[in-house]
Homo-oligomer: A and B are copies of this chain.
Amino acid sequence: MLMIAAACLSAGYARAEDGYDLWLRYRTSVSSSGAPRVSPRIDTRSSSRMMVAAADELRRALAGLSTAQVAMLGPIVVATAGDPDVRALDLPLALLGDEGYLVRTVTLARARVTLVTANTERGALYGSFALLRHLYTGGDPRRIALSSAPRVHLRILDHWDNLDGSVERGYAGQSLWDWWTLPDYRDPRYTDYARANASIGINGVVLNNVNASADTLTARYIAKAAALADIFRPYGIKVYLSARFSAPIELGGLASADPLDPRVAAWWRAKADEIYRAIPDFGGFLVKANSEGQPGPRDYHRSHADGANMLAAAVRPHGGVIMWRAFVYADTDPDDRAKQAWTEFKPLDGQFADNVIVQVKNGAIDFQPREPFHPLFGAMPRTALMPEFQITKEYLGQATHLAYLGPLFAETLRADTMAHGSGSTVARIIDGSIEHHRLTGIAGVANVGRDRDWSGSTFNQANWYAFGRLAWDPALDPRAIAREWAAMTFAPAIAKRVATMMMPSREAVVDYMTPLGLAHLMATGHHYGPEPWVSGLKRPEWNPVYYHRADRNGIGFDRTASGSNAVAQYAPALARQLSNPATTPPSELLWFHHLRWDHPMPSGRTLWTELVQRYDAGVAQVGDMRRQWNGLRPQVDAERWEKTATFLDIQAREAAWWRDASIAYWSSINGLPLPAGTRPPAHDVRWYEAQRFPHAPGNPQ
């Protein structure tokens, strides 16, 4: 033991806690467990790659527990429902489906053991991670009774990773995939990525950007994807690819990509066959078509359903699915951008093949700090819909701002569409329980890159974690998820305090960037920092002024009947509520209404005064987070504490910048004095307008 200790210490200098281990850190405190190593008995009753992975994970994790804890746990048996011992116990496995698990302290052959069981090995893998989560969040090792099954089938990370290693809207370094050395070199990091995903139930990964290169579909890149699929397979993760709709032209030499052209359909069938030969469990294609310049079926006057169904036919023989994005807005349509996806897709309800799922952003614009839920949810009952969230914080401060997105994800999932009466929440639409869809899914745009800490900051890891947990069960409480994450990432002893700090963080971003339902006021292109004044871009809906519509008299986008009437895209009961400022939630007020600056708010203040107070509240909340983080310093390792503290400093500065620039700009428009007691902006609006950030990260090439 002494010998090993010395080796460890000599390497200790360079091996500070750097975030690489994520929530699979497997220590019960920040410094160390203080416990000698023990070798628990783990019996997986199968030598499949998946069960070897489960056993390996259990061994890693149990090495961090105390002898006493391991003893209380007893031997661990991982076995599927077909195992005679499991059958003899007559456990309630029927409702677990093919991914659920049951973990329970039982007596087997007169010995008390911890049993991890499920109908499938995949379920048993998830059960193993559930057991570890239980143990590392302070759960009792003696009386374990865990059981859960996912409510959504496809739980997917979308990587916006390009073949040159850049990541669109990536703030955590280059793409994880080193395309250049694949398929030969299998970086151990790929396995750690799969472990992290499996631990939170993610079962699918789209490897490449929706703004896709056709090269992804060449033999060379299929072989690379196949290598990743092989690494991910024991962790229950399928690989998907974003497909460029015009690939038959670019790769196949065809004159057209018309989905109704039999040669085009044949090309895609042959391509699907080729992919499935290399990747037998290939998940399918994700497609961004006729959106922001991407090719698609509309180029041939065909519908999105025509395009999706043609691809669906190609992957159907292999069990594949098509995830077809509804993120469309035409460069010729002068109508409210927020309405266009509904306008184009709702008429197609019922026309999509049953292995197509339409992927709908959580809101109708584009991943803003807050958006009302997308009106397509509930509006296409005969179509499988999956929400698309953005885990990477394109519009929420990018890498450096601490913004816990659990509340944002949950807000959409819990929103009541009223489409099938009260209680028809987005969650119940997309989990299939109301509309009886067999195919269900949730997608999140990944925030993962090659940075050592994967996500650019420790707290960004929490958004990856929360996405996975909510995809598994949309009913989970974001605060409980935050505590779980914090217990595993730091230590159970400080989990509650860390979660308390995290919970208001997203609302703080809303307040200092886009309070009261404002949206899309970020700088052009890279979306870093405020540019509410931008008005000169070619397409109207690229300009922030399109969204806020502020003038001398008022501010906000009238989406009632007197305006764009976007409210009519919601269920009638909800549309009525949203048509009236008095019954519209203040948090969405200016999304739906154009109001006078002196509009009286429920608080009794004018809109202008309330708006300024929201900015101040956002800035103050960041100050609060800094104070809380300072208080946690003794309980957190130096490297992660320091980086987070520095990022909070940046956030505090930038929150003040957002507040000041916004107030300066609104003042210059409305000519009103600042509400009494308001600190004036540090500079005038010209100063803010002059700021330029030519090398901001994450911008598409």
Stretch of A19-27, A296-304, A314-322, A601-609 on the interface side: A19-27
* Interchain CA distance A189-B18 in the complex, whole Å: 11
Interface of A, secondary structure class, is loop
Shortest beta-carbon distance from A511 to chain B in Å: 23
Q: How far is the CA of A643 from the CA of B190 in the complex (A)?
A: 14
Q: Specify which of B6, B36, B215 is in contact with A32 (CB 8 Å cutoff).
A: B6
Are A10 and B33 in contact (CB-based, < 8 A)?
Answer: yes
| A7 B36 Cβ-Cβ under 8 A | no
Chain A residues numbered 86-110 whose CB sits less than 8 Å from any CB in chain B = none
Contact code string A634-672 (vs B, CB < 8 Å = 1, else 0): 000001000100110110000000000000000000000
A2 interface hit (Cβ, 8 Å): yes
- Asked whether, in the complex, the Cβ of B650 is within 8 Å of the Cβ of A181, the reply is yes
Contact indicator B13/A34 (Cβ below 8 Å): no
Query: How does the 8 Å CB contact mask read for A8-48 relative to B, with 1 for contact and 0 for none?
Result: 11111111101011001111000111111100000000000
Query: Which residues of chain B come closer than 8 Å to A31, judged between CB atoms?
Result: 7
Q: Shortest Cβ distance from A635 into chain B, in angstroms?
A: 16
> In chain A, residues 172-186, which have Cβ atoms closer than 8 Å to a Cβ of chain B?
173-174, 179-181, 184-186
Question: Number of contact residues on A: which range applies?
Answer: 35 or more
Asked if A354 is at the interface of the complex by the 8 Å CB criterion, the answer is: no
B-facing residues in A234-280 (Cβ within 8 Å)? none
**Shortest distance from the beta carbon of A224 to any chain B beta carbon, whole Å:** 11
* A4 at interface by CB-CB < 8 Å: yes
Known: A3-B34, A37-B9. A16 touches B400 (CB 8 A): no
Chain B residue with the shortest CB-CB distance to A24? B14
Residue contact A164 to B697, C-beta cutoff 8 Å: yes
Chain B residues with CB below 8 A from A184, complex form: 646-647, 649-650
Q: Bound complex: CA of A15 vs CA of B15, how far in Å? A: 8
Find A11's partner among B21, B213, B701 (CB 8 Å cutoff): B21
Residues facing B in A607-649 (CB within 8 A) are: 639, 643, 646-647, 649
CA–CA, A162 to B697, complex, Å?
12
- Which residues from B are CB-within-8-Å of A213? 694-695
Nearest B residue (CB) for A65: B10
- Shortest A321–chain B CB gap in Å is 27
- B180, A37: Cβ atoms closer than 8 Å: no
Pick the most buried of A26, A31, A33, A185: most chain B CB atoms within 10 A of its CB: A185
**Chain B contacts of A33 at CB under 8 A?**
6-7, 10
Cα–Cα, bound, A253→B476 (Å) = 57
Q: Does A576 contact B (CB under 8 A)?
A: no
CA distance A9 to B450 in the complex (A): 25
Distance to closest chain B CB from A457 (angstroms) = 9
Beyond A639-B188, A697-B165, is A4–B11 a contact (Cβ under 8 Å)?
Answer: no
Does A690 have its Cβ within 8 Å of any Cβ on chain B?
no
Contact B185 A37 (CB under 8 A): no
| Separation of A7 and B452 alpha carbons in the complex (Å) | 21
Contact A5 B697 (CB under 8 A): no
Report chain B residues within 8 Å CB of A26.
Answer: 10-11
Q: Which of B20, B32, B695 meets A14, CB within 8 Å?
A: B20
Chain B residue with minimal CB distance to A162? B695
Check B37–A10 contact: CB distance below 8 A.
yes
Give the chain B neighbours of A18 by CB distance below 8 A. Answer: 188
A184 to B696, CA, bound (A): 16
Q: Report the bound CA distance from A513 to B694 in whole Å.
A: 40
Contact A163 B400 (CB under 8 A): no
- Nearest residue (CB) in B for A27 is B10
Query: Is residue A1 within 8 Å, beta carbon to beta carbon, of the partner chain?
Result: yes
Indicate if the CB atoms of B10 and A64 lie closer than 8 Å: yes
Contact among B1, B13, B452 with A5 in the assembled complex (CB-CB below 8 Å) = B1
A399 within 8 A of B: yes
Residues of B within 8 A of A164 (CB): 695, 697
Contact of B695 with A16 in the complex, beta carbons under 8 Å: no
- A192: interface (CB < 8 Å): yes
Residue pair B32, A3 in contact (C-beta under 8 Å) = yes
Q: Which of B63, B163, B186 contacts A695 (CB 8 A)?
A: B163
Residue of B nearest to A66 (CB): B6
Residue of B nearest to A695 (CB): B163
List B contacts of A36 (CB < 8 A). 2-3, 5-6
Write out the residue numbers on chain B whose beta carbons fall within 8 Å of the beta carbon of A2: 1, 5, 36
Q: For chain A residues 448-469, which have a beta carbon within 8 Å of chain B?
A: 450-452
Closest approach, in angstroms, between the C-beta of A220 and any C-beta of chain B? 9
List chain B residues, Cβ under 8 A from A5: 1-2, 4-5, 8, 36-37
| Chain B residue nearest to A1 in the complex (CB) | B5
Nearest CB to that of A643 among chain B residues?
B185
Q: At the interface, yes or no: A683 with Cβ under 8 Å from chain B?
A: no
Given the known inter-chain contacts A7-B32, A32-B6, please indicate yes or no for A696 contacting B646, CB distance below 8 A.
no
- Check A60 for interface membership: any CB of B closer than 8 A: yes
A185 touches B646 (CB 8 A): yes
CB <8 Å contact, B6 and A35: yes
A27 and B11 in contact (CB under 8 A), knowing A174-B173, A184-B649, A450-B450? yes
**Residue of B9, B16, B188 touching A4 (CB-CB under 8 A):** B9
Q: Whole-angstrom distance between the alpha carbons of A184 and B35 in the complex?
A: 37
CA distance A697 to B649 in the complex (A): 35
Chain B residues near A694: list those with CB within 8 A.
163, 213, 215
Apart from A10-B63, A11-B26, A163-B695, what 11 extra A-B contacts exist at CB < 8 Å? A2-B36, A6-B63, A7-B32, A10-B33, A11-B64, A162-B695, A164-B697, A180-B697, A181-B646, A185-B647, A185-B650
Pull 22 A–B residue pairs with CB atoms less than 8 Å apart, ordered by A: A1-B1, A3-B32, A3-B36, A4-B5, A4-B8, A6-B35, A7-B33, A7-B34, A9-B37, A9-B63, A10-B32, A11-B25, A11-B26, A13-B60, A163-B694, A173-B450, A179-B695, A180-B696, A181-B400, A181-B646, A181-B650, A184-B646
Ranked 9 nearest A-B pairs via Cβ: A7-B32, A8-B8, A10-B64, A5-B5, A163-B695, A10-B63, A13-B60, A185-B646, A164-B695
